[in-house]
Amino acid sequence: MMRDLPASIDDTVDLLNSARYVADRALATVVFLSLRMGRPLFLEGEAGVGKTEIAKVLADALGRRLIRLQCYEGLDVASAVYEWNYPAQMVEIRLAEASGDIDRERMTSDIFSERFLIKRPLLQALEAPDGLAPVLLIDELDRTDEAFEAFLLEVLSDFQVTVPELETIVAEHPPIVIITSNRTREVHDALKRRCLYHWVGYPDTARELAIVEARAPEAAGDLAQEVVAFVQALRGEDLFKRPGVAETLDWVSALHELDRVALDPATINDTLGVLLKYQDDIARMEGSEAQRLLSQIQAEIKAEANR
């Protein structure tokens, strides 16, 4: 169901909450400003902290189409913007030749018409057939090379794309643009200047618990509290890759599938692979270290309950 853009920061918080996204005030503010100012939103932060989810939630909550461009090394215009349907064009040429119609100018005009144009995500995002601007997610921009970044400047500045054989296509209703980066490399300042910027960090304990309660309501209250406390403590350890919110939610789901209502050392050892994705990190934390962290967080939870 389509909804109007939020009229205030509080409305933005409510909008995100309606789609079960628990945002802090700073993130809600920059989302609100991005929507009101019509500026792309550049979200940077560790993997698994909810950057991509923002775009999905906005599309869902506002009732808009979500168009996703997943970036990778070697991404080119043909994959991101458009390409011509060469097999169909060849068939058209063969049919024209077979019928004796060899008017080259008319044939060229025909085969390079919109009928043979394959629209990729960036071009799709410039169209709003229902009059509603879609949400365009450009995910993990840091995975592409600088040449593609440079190409994006025209798209993000003027919301237009030039197809040389046709024309310059301008968005009548510019898309809501969310760009994410895991900061595996620095994105150029020229692109950042066209966006509003926000660093998405790990949530504090209270917000992460609220996220778990919103996204995994099936988890028992005590289990959710222990899981969040354990993950928060785990992020303070010397790990190669700390677990994000996505891993927290995965762990809660895994424990629920195992019918666990509380953490115990054996269960933690058996399920560390849900939280940690590198063997060195798992080897460091399993056994006595997991026991130590569990004892620590259980003592803290007990002390908090006795206050």
What are the tens digits of pLDDT across the range 124-148?
999 988 888 999 999 999 999 888 8
CA distances from 107 to 84, 93, 100, 160, 168 (A): 15, 7, 12, 27, 21
The confidence score (pLDDT) of residue 52 equals 96
Q: What is the Cα–Cα distance from 31 to 16, expressed in whole angstroms?
A: 10
Question: Would you give the distance in Å from CA 199 to the centre of its chain?
Answer: 14
Q: Which helix (H) or strand (E) element contains residue 25?
A: helix 25-37
Q: Choose among 167, 168, 144, 164: nearest CA to 155.
A: 168
CA 126, 130, 133, 135 torsion-angle sign: negative
| Cα angle, residue 48 at apex, residues 207 and 140 outer, rounded to 5° | 130
The confidence score (pLDDT) of residue 1 equals 66
CA 165, 167, 168, 172 torsion-angle sign: negative
Q: What is the Cα–Cα distance from 92 to 110, expressed in whole angstroms?
A: 9
Residue type present at position 129: P
The confidence score (pLDDT) of residue 232 equals 96
The confidence score (pLDDT) of residue 92 equals 87
Q: Which regions in the chain score pLDDT beneath 50?
A: none
